[in-house]
């Protein structure tokens, strides 16, 4: 249960004065549904209302604040004309302009002969000062109440800054005095201000510098949020370590058969990762480990070898992939490696015919199938396993936490391994996967040659086509990636279908097209033609970003490269790093090119190190899109920004380790306050979600 001291902060926003259903809906879409959501909605700019010279000395375009006397009302002769109110500050005349307003309301608010304190933007037009729709109008007695510095907030259509500021001012009255959960050391780093004081300061900036992430108030709040995240993950991990699992220690006969049949030797990094996983599998507690490896580093082989001890013990293993292309890729790789071992492998996808599905379900339920590979089809309630002991999830960030739990729940105390080919910066690793143990394959198989990356303007297209023609004639295969399936009025990007037609005229029937809107059997046919060399140039959208494995493909042309993210460019380039031939990646760009896009393409030229690229990607755009943060289960910070607060993350991790060492059940005075912190940032929801599995 949420502590009662937090009840005011979790009051619905409808409890604020003057917020009807119409505005409540808009505020919810902007901030959230509760008072705390409004309080966590911070200003991003500042308006200076201290400029108040006599009008005769004022400057055009400035925000002016002063007291005026109303001298005349001029009603419009037609709807197209504005309502004008003439006034003076004694030094010069000013006309107030109003569009689409009620004359009665203006007559009431601006009576002839009355004095009013106003604030708004001045414009000099036709030899006269004018101000359209003043931001503020109050009586002279309330002049001192006009803030000289006004915080400006992110807004949405239908909500203005004045309204939002009023709601925030009212929301601040709901803010209780909370017990302190920070240590004296951490408090010292934030000028000893409390959570309440930090919120108040964040909404009352006096200088533009007060809006920066490195102020004491913002760092205090960022640390609170990060601490809640790290504490929640640590508690989950602590709980998981206490959950009884199953110990899988096989006799090694299947392992020896497969390892001896491999056409290559495992790298040292693969061997270490496998050792980590096998150590976990042999323990009596549940395993939850993340295996991170760059594109082409050999994660699939490691996952297969780790499955063998589970199969040797008589249990089943499942591998879940986010797309059918990737699931089929795993199926082909694993089936080939398991030939002549007696291991049976089944592929489950959404397009299986009813009879095929029934037969596969029967084999899985009876235990005849040892390894089950599939997509979301593995989640179906109709599917039952004889004895599912081990679950491997590929490209984990594309699945939500709840999906992961629903699959592992199909077996008794399943061990879980999640894999990703998306290199994850250290800071995101700690916040997104802090509940997991972690292994990294940081080297590529021997024999892999570097890829040359070239950045070219799209006007060099004839040269690219000429060079590509020579390469295709030599038996090379190539990808040509376009961002969209078809042109739209809102976009000037080259469409894949249009590019396909142009390239077909140039190269003939050896050009293929694949995109996300195609039916699965059409995709399969095109991919098979490409793998077999019947098609040598594949025009594609980013559907090929993950999982396509054609070692003969050594050329990657990415059109409108300036529109792609850095991590996505790296993933696409990884498609031509599958064989032992050196590859060429051509990034075609067209103007205009932003500074960030130039930096991305420059980084792609400099390095192939996915982990370095991930860190640079985080610097360039923050953590927002690195892991697909809209997926459920991934932490989206509201107050912390990893571009500025990484040091707080490391500090919070150390703080949490010390907390759990001295007060594992959070029973001390600080421990009780930390429980309030968890509820404040709604980490209790995350904990319940995890532990429900």
Same domain, 422 and 468: no
Separation CA 575–CA 577 (nearest Å): 6
Same domain, 490 and 412: no
Q: Calculate the alpha carbon distances from 337 to 69, 70, 151, 305, 346 in Å.
A: 89, 88, 63, 10, 14
CATH assignment of the domain containing 543: 3.40.50.300
Same domain, 307 and 433: yes
Separation CA 526–CA 519 (nearest Å): 11
Q: Is residue 518 part of a domain?
A: yes
pLDDT tens per residue across span 590-613: 888 888 899 999 999 998 888 888
Same domain, 423 and 315: yes
Residue 531 is part of which domain span?
A: 451-607
3-state secondary structure (DSSP) of residue 33:
coil
pTM of structure: 0.70
User: What 8-state DSSP symbol labels residue 445?
Assistant: P
Strand order in the sheet with 288-293: 345-348, 371-374, 316-320, 388-394, 415-420, 288-293, 437-441
- Going by C-alpha positions, the residue among 129, 82, 128, 127 that lies closest to residue 103 is 82
pLDDT of residue 484: 53
Domain total in the chain: 3
Look at residues 127, 146, 165 and tell me which one is the last residue of a structural domain: 146
Question: What pairing do the DSSP bridges indicate for beta strands 63-74 and 115-121?
Answer: antiparallel
Separation CA 235–CA 346 (nearest Å): 37
CA atoms within 13 A on the CB side of 601: 22
Q: Is residue 155 part of a domain?
A: no
**Residues in the chain, pLDDT under 70:** 396-412, 432, 435, 447, 484-495, 543-548, 579-580, 621-636, 685-693
Separation CA 520–CA 217 (nearest Å): 53
CATH assignment of the domain containing 127: 2.40.50.140
Same domain, 490 and 523: yes
Kindly report whether the peptide bond that precedes residue 592 is cis, defined as omega within 30 degrees of 0.
yes
Same domain, 520 and 416: no
Q: Is residue 207 part of a domain?
A: no
For 546, residues 6+ apart whose C-beta sits below 8 A from its C-beta are 322, 323, 325, 326, 395, 421, 571
pLDDT of residue 53: 96
Positive or negative, the Cα torsion across 324, 326, 330, 335? positive
pLDDT of residue 38: 96
Same domain, 481 and 434: no
Same domain, 502 and 427: no
pLDDT tens per residue across span 475-515: 899 999 987 544 443 343 446 788 889 999 999 999 999 88
Report the percent of the chain where pLDDT is more than 70: 90
pLDDT tens per residue across span 189-227: 888 999 999 999 999 999 999 999 999 999 999 999 999
Same domain, 298 and 429: yes
pLDDT of residue 490: 37
pLDDT of residue 402: 55
Q: Extract the tokens encoding 271.
A: 């061997």
Do 652 and 660 meet the contact criterion of CB atoms below 8 Å apart? no
Same domain, 357 and 455: no
């Amino acid at each position: 249960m949420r502590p009662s001291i937090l009840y005011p902060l979790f009051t619905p926003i409808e409890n604020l004065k003057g917020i009807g259903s119409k505005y409540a809906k808009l505020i919810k879409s902007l901030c959230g549904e509760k008072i705390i959501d409004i309080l966590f909605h911070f200003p991003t700019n500042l308006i200076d209302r201290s400029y108040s010279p006599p009008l005769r000395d004022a400057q055009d375009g400035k925000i002016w604040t002063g007291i005026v006397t109303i001298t005349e009302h001029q009603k419009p002769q037609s709807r197209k004309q504005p309502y004008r109110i003439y006034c003076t500050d004694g030094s010069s005349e000013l006309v107030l302009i109003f569009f689409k307003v009620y004359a009665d309301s203006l007559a009431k608010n601006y009576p002839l002969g009355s004095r009013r304190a106003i604030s708004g933007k001045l414009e000099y037009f036709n030899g006269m000062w004018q101000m359209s729709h003043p931001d503020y109008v109050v009586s002279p007695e309330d002049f001192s109440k006009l803030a000289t510095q006004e915080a400006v907030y992110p807004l949405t259509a239908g909500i203005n800054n004045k309204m939002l500021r009023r709601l925030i001012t009212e929301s601040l009255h709901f803010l209780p005095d909370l017990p302190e959960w920070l240590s004296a050391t951490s408090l010292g780093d934030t000028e000893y201000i409390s959570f309440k004081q930090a919120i108040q300061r964040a909404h009352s900036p006096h200088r533009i510098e007060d809006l920066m992430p490195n102020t004491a108030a913002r760092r205090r709040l960022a640390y609170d949020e990060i601490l809640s995240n790290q504490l929640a993950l640590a508690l989950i991990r602590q709980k998981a370590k206490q959950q009884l699992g199953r110990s899988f220690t096989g006799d090694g006969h299947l392992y020896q058969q497969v390892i001896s049949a491999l056409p290559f030797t495992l790298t040292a990094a693969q061997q270490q990762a496998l050792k980590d996983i096998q150590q976990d599998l042999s323990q009596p507690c549940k395993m939850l480990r993340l295996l991170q490896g760059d594109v082409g580093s050999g994660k699939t082989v490691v996952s297969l070898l780790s499955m063998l001890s589970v199969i040797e013990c008589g249990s089943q293993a499942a591998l879940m992939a986010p797309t059918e292309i990737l699931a089929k890729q795993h199926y082909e790789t694993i089936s080939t490696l398991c030939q002549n071992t007696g291991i049976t492998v089944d592929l489950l996808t959404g397009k299986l015919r009813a009879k095929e599905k029934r037969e596969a379900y029967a084999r899985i339920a009876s235990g005849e199938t040892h390894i089950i590979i599939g997509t979301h089809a593995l989640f179906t309630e109709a599917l039952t396993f004889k004895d599912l002991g081990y679950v491997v999830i590929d490209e984990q960030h594309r699945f939500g936490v709840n999906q992961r739990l629903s699959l592992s729940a199909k077996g008794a105390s399943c061990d879980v391994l999640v894999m990703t080919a998306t290199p994850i910066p250290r800071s995101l690793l700690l916040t997104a996967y802090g509940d997991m143990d972690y292994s990294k394959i940081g080297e590529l198989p021997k024999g892999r040659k570097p890829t040359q990356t070239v950045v070219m303007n799209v006007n060099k297209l004839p040269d690219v086509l000429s060079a590509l023609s020579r390469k295709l004639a030599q038996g090379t295969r190539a990808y040509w990636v376009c961002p969209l399936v078809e042109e739209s009025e809102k976009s000037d990007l080259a469409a894949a279908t249009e590019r396909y037609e142009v390239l077909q005229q140039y190269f003939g029937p050896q050009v293929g097209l694949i995109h996300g809107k195609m039916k699965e059997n059409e995709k399969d046919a095109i991919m098979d033609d490409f793998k077999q060399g019947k098609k040598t140039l594949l025009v594609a959208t980013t559907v090929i970003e993950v999982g396509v494995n054609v070692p003969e493909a050594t050329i990657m042309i990415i059109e409108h490269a300036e529109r792609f993210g850095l991590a996505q460019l790296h993933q696409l380039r990884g498609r031509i790093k599958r064989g032992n031939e050196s590859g060429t990646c051509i990034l075609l760009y067209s103007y205009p090119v932003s500074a960030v896009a130039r930096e991305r393409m420059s980084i792609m030229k400099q390095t192939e190190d996915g982990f370095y690229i991930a860190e640079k990607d985080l610097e360039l755009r923050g953590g927002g899109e690195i892991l697909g943060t809209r997926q459920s289960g991934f932490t989206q910070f509201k107050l912390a920004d990893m571009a500025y607060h990484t040091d707080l993350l490391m500090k919070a991790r150390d703080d949490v380790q010390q907390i759990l060492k001295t007060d594992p059940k959070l029973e001390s005075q600080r421990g009780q306050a930390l429980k309030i912190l968890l509820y404040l940032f709604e980490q209790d929801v995350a904990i319940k979600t995890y532990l429900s599995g």
